[in-house]
């Protein structure tokens, strides 16, 4: 399917965004409640694994989702990812041990290993080149809305009717996402293949796309902080006296929405790298603000800055990845970027849980370390990446 000339907001695109809202809300609504749920099972010391195992499976599955997206089609890959959320959400109330919980979190990661890869490749197929970052920004905005609504809805449902009702609602959100995909998404991949188990054999050159090393490095460095926030913000919120553990994510998302609406075209106009330099620096500033937070207001101010930074960062990274990747292997290029994203989130989750170790006096050093890691993304873009480009061009 050829991209519509100059058009983004087609019916397919809008429905895809709605599917993204539902999918993102499905697995994010349980995030604020899972640390306490795991603690009840006797796994208080394993909080870092909640995000870490999820992102590990997501990263491991990316080469498969990238290859399948480029062979059997974008839509089947999206449907599979959403169905994983349906099944896993229904299984959480049935687990009764720490091991079973962590195993389920591991397999739940298949969802984000597949759905975003198929979605991004689909969007790249249907939108014009000169509006690519704007389109990616809108799809990311839909995911961010789900990320915001999910924790707030999940926390409210859990408080009102119990955590089992929240898990059931999570499954319903994911199922509605599947209904939209099955009922309205026309496949965009030409020359599709029928699925066979031979397609699950990954060659060495199919693990990642070498052409997108730059976006992979920046993605990794900037998403370590995201893994940290997902892991310790519920505890940090409670430490500062914020009753709704999802409030931080609501403020962060509101800011991200605002910046995407105002600056969605920024990297299409001024270039991917300049925008990424600015957004990386802003992410570091937000981490410093959180480290210095002694009140809910300061924490929420940090959430606003972080949301604005991520709102600039995410669409620019996605568009940059597609720009540099092989047009015949969009799925592989995007999967490579997502591998870096999952690695960053996973390491951020493990590292923050290790440093914090359920002791509030370590909140500040955890955030300062994340600020330093994020600063290096700006350093890489300013000094290291240009050098690599010049070296490549001389050969």
Reported as a pLDDT band with limits 50, 70 and 90, residue 134 is: confident
Residue 392's pLDDT is 54
Check: CB of residue 250 under 8 Å from CB of residue 152: yes
Phi, psi of 203 (to 5 degrees): -80, 160
d(CA 180, CA 18): 8
**Is residue 315 over pLDDT 50?**
yes
Question: How far, in whole angstroms, is CA 127 from its chain's centroid?
Answer: 21
**Is residue 388 over pLDDT 70?**
no
pLDDT tens-digit map of 199-238: 989 887 788 899 999 999 999 999 999 999 988 998 999 9
Query: HEC string of 128-153?
Result: CHHHHHHHHHHHHHHHHHHHHHHHHH
> Whole-structure pTM over 0.95, yes or no?
no
Residue 3's pLDDT is 52
Structure letter (DSSP) for residue 179? H
| Helix or strand (DSSP H, E) at 306 | helix 296-324
User: What is the per-residue DSSP string for 201-226?
Assistant: ---GGGS--GGGHHHHHHHHHHHHHH
Q: Burial of 90 by CB count in 10 Å (0-12 exposed, 13-18 middle, 19+ buried)?
A: middle
Dihedral sign computed on CA atoms, order 188, 332, 318, 391: negative
Q: Burial of 238 by CB count in 10 Å (0-12 exposed, 13-18 middle, 19+ buried)?
A: middle
Cβ neighbours of residue 159 under 8 Å, at least 6 residues apart? Answer: none
Planar angle of CA 179, 158, 356, nearest 5 degrees: 105
d(CA 275, CA 107): 35
Residue 293's pLDDT is 95
pLDDT tens-digit map of 6-47: 678 888 899 999 999 999 999 989 887 898 899 999 988 887
d(CA 145, CA 255): 11
Mean pLDDT of the chain: 89
Residue 391's pLDDT is 47
d(CA 51, CA 346): 6
Check: CB of residue 89 under 8 Å from CB of residue 112: no
Residue 65's pLDDT is 93
Q: Kindly state the average pLDDT of the residues 230-253.
A: 86
pLDDT tens-digit map of 51-94: 778 888 988 898 999 999 999 999 999 999 999 999 999 999 99
d(CA 57, CA 347): 13
Residue with tokens 């099944």: 87
pLDDT tens-digit map of 257-304: 888 766 667 888 888 999 999 999 999 999 999 999 999 999 999 999
Reported as a pLDDT band with limits 50, 70 and 90, residue 394 is: very low
The token pair at 156 is 């409210």
Alpha helix segments (H runs only) across 240-294: 247-263, 266-270, 272-291
Reported as a pLDDT band with limits 50, 70 and 90, residue 143 is: confident
Count of Cβ atoms closer than 10 Å to residue 129 Cβ: 11
d(CA 118, CA 131): 19
Higher pLDDT, 191 or 366: 366
Q: Which of 363, 54, 93, 374 is nearest to 234 (CA)?
A: 363
Reported as a pLDDT band with limits 50, 70 and 90, residue 387 is: low
């Amino acid at each position: 399917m050829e991209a519509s000339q100059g058009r983004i907001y087609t019916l397919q695109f809008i429905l895809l965004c709605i599917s993204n809202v539902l999918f993102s809300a499905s697995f994010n609504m349980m995030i604020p409640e899972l640390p306490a749920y795991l603690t009840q099972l006797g796994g208080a010391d394993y909080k870092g694994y909640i995000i870490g195992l999820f992102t590990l499976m997501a990263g491991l599955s990316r080469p498969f989702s990238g290859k399948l997206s480029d062979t059997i089609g974008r839509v089947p890959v999206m449907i599979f990812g959403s169905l994983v959320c349906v099944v896993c959400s229904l299984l959480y109330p049935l687990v009764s041990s720490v091991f079973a919980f962590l195993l389920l979190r591991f397999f739940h990661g298949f969802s984000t290993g597949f759905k975003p890869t198929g979605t991004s490749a689909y969007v790249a197929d249907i939108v014009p080149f000169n509006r690519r970052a704007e389109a990616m920004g809108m799809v990311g905005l839909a995911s961010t809305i789900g990320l915001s609504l999910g924790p707030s809805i999940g926390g409210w449902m859990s408080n009102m009717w119990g955590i089992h009702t929240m898990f059931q609602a999570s499954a319903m959100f994911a199922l509605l996402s599947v209904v939209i995909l099955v009922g309205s998404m026309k496949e965009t991949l030409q020359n599709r293949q029928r699925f066979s188990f031979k397609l699950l054999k990954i060659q060495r050159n199919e693990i990642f796309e070498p052409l997108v090393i730059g976006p992979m490095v920046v993605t990794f460095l900037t998403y370590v902080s995201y893994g940290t926030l997902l892991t310790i913000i519920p505890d940090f919120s409670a430490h500062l006296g914020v009753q709704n553990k999802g409030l931080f994510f609501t403020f962060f998302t509101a800011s991200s929405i605002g910046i995407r609406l105002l600056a969605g075209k920024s990297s299409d106009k001024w270039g991917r790298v300049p925008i990424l330099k600015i957004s990386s620096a802003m992410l570091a500033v937000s981490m410093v603000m959180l480290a210095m937070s002694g009140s809910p207001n300061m924490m929420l101010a940090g959430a606003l800055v972080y949301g604005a930074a991520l709102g600039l960062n995410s669409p620019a990274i996605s568009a940059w990845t597609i720009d540099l990747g092989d047009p015949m292997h969009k799925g592989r290029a995007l999967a490579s970027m997502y591998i870096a994203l999952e690695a960053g989130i996973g390491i951020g989750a493990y590292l923050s849980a290790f440093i914090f170790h359920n002791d509030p006096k370590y909140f500040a050093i955890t955030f300062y370390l994340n600020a330093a890691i994020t600063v290096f993304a700006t350093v890489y873009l300013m000094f290291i990446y240009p050098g690599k480009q010049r070296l490549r061009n001389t050969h």
